[in-house]
Amino acid sequence: MDAKIKTLVESLIMNADTSFVGSVNDQGFPAIKAMLPPRKIDGIHAVYFSTNTSSLRVTHFRNNPKACLYFCDRRSFQGVMLQGFMEVLEDQDSKDMLWQEGDTLYYSGGVTDPDYCVLKFVTQSARLYSDMRTESFLFA
Amino acid sequence: MDAKIKTLVESLIMNADTSFVGSVNDQGFPAIKAMLPPRKIDGIHAVYFSTNTSSLRVTHFRNNPKACLYFCDRRSFQGVMLQGFMEVLEDQDSKDMLWQEGDTLYYSGGVTDPDYCVLKFVTQSARLYSDMRTESFLFA
């Protein structure tokens, strides 16, 4: 993936107002849920979200970590899909890393709330939809 | 599903400017793609799209018809996910049914173009995200 494309993909991820997160349920059906934008990205290799430990999504990913993320810009008709694995992190360092002021609105117990956890998505491949063309990339 | 909820779900489907379509690829990873709004819906039981027969999405659904659709309204924070099966229809009656003026832009051969086909999604279950609550419904 050249630098220009990497910049475009990072910009699509960071500027999207919504993240669409895909999982596979126990019956083998795909599931899609809208989530807030990621809290942090590490290049295109890792994308971090905060979520409720008790959510159905977390149950899906514990049973089957295969996942995808989709980000798009409706004005430019550009989109990117990342496929990879979703890890559910409950260690305090990860929880501290993503915590933001105001999060007690979602997690009343604060940064150590057991219902607060981190989803870390690790990218295996990317598919870019841009200018009516489609390009795929594999990550090492 | 009561009439009020059915009306809400139909309105979310018909008013969304983008449809998010989920599939499962040969390696078991979920995939998400943005598509134009559906061409036709039959209540909440069937949702029809037009697409290119040669697309990767069609290959996915021929191999594994398990699918989902996601529609949302960002202003009201309401969304609906439908899970079910996607059929790839290539019979002329189905192609005639969805054809619209201007479609030669996408399918240069017209309504009989072999690269034009119909995706018919048949709903098995629905999950509604509304007012911070989540409700699930099964279809017979």
Look at residue B94 and tell me if it is in a domain: yes
Contact at CB, A31 and B22, closer than 8 angstroms = yes
Kindly report the CA angle at A128 between A125 and A130, in degrees rounded to 5? 175
Question: Angle CA(A68)–CA(A73)–CA(A75) in degrees, nearest 5?
Answer: 155
Binning pLDDT at 50, 70 and 90, where does residue A110 land? Answer: very high
Report yes or no: B3 at the A interface, CB cutoff 8 Å. no
Is the predicted pLDDT of residue A140 greater than 60, yes or no? no
**Domain that includes residue A65, residue range:** 3-138
pLDDT > 80? residue A137? no
Q: How far is CA B120 from the centre of its chain?
A: 7
pLDDT at B140 over 50: no
Per this entry, what is the length of chain B?
Answer: 140
pLDDT digits (tens, 9 = 90+) for B31-77: 998 888 999 999 889 999 999 999 888 998 999 999 999 998 877 77
pLDDT at residue number B25: 93
- Long-range (24+ apart) CB contacts under 8 A made by A103-110 are A103/A50, A106/A50, A106/A52, A107/A52
Distance from CA of B30 to the nearest CA of A (A): 6
Task: Please give the Cα distance from B66 to B73 (Å, whole number).
Answer: 24
Q: Does A32 touch chain B (CB under 8 A)?
A: yes
Does any CB of chain B come closer than 8 Å to the CB of residue A33? yes
Q: Which of A3, A39, A34 is nearest to A20 (CA)?
A: A34
* B33 vs A: CB within 8 A: yes
pLDDT of residue A92: 98
Q: What secondary structure letter does DSSP report for B91?
A: S
Q: Tell me the shortest Cα–Cα distance from A4 to chain B, in angstroms.
A: 23
Closest Cα in chain B, distance from residue A96 (Å): 25
Q: How many domains does chain B have?
A: 1
> From the list B20, B27, B66, which residue is nearest A32 (CB)?
B20
- pLDDT band of residue A7 (cuts 50, 70, 90) is confident
Q: Give the CATH number for residue B121.
A: 2.30.110.10
Mean pLDDT of chain A: 90
What tens digit of pLDDT does each residue of B115-127 get? 999 999 999 999 9
Q: Which two tokens stand for residue B61?
A: 């659904």
Query: What's this model's pTM, rounded to 2 decimal places?
Result: 0.90
Q: What is the dihedral of CA B128, B129, B131, B134, to 10 degrees?
A: 80
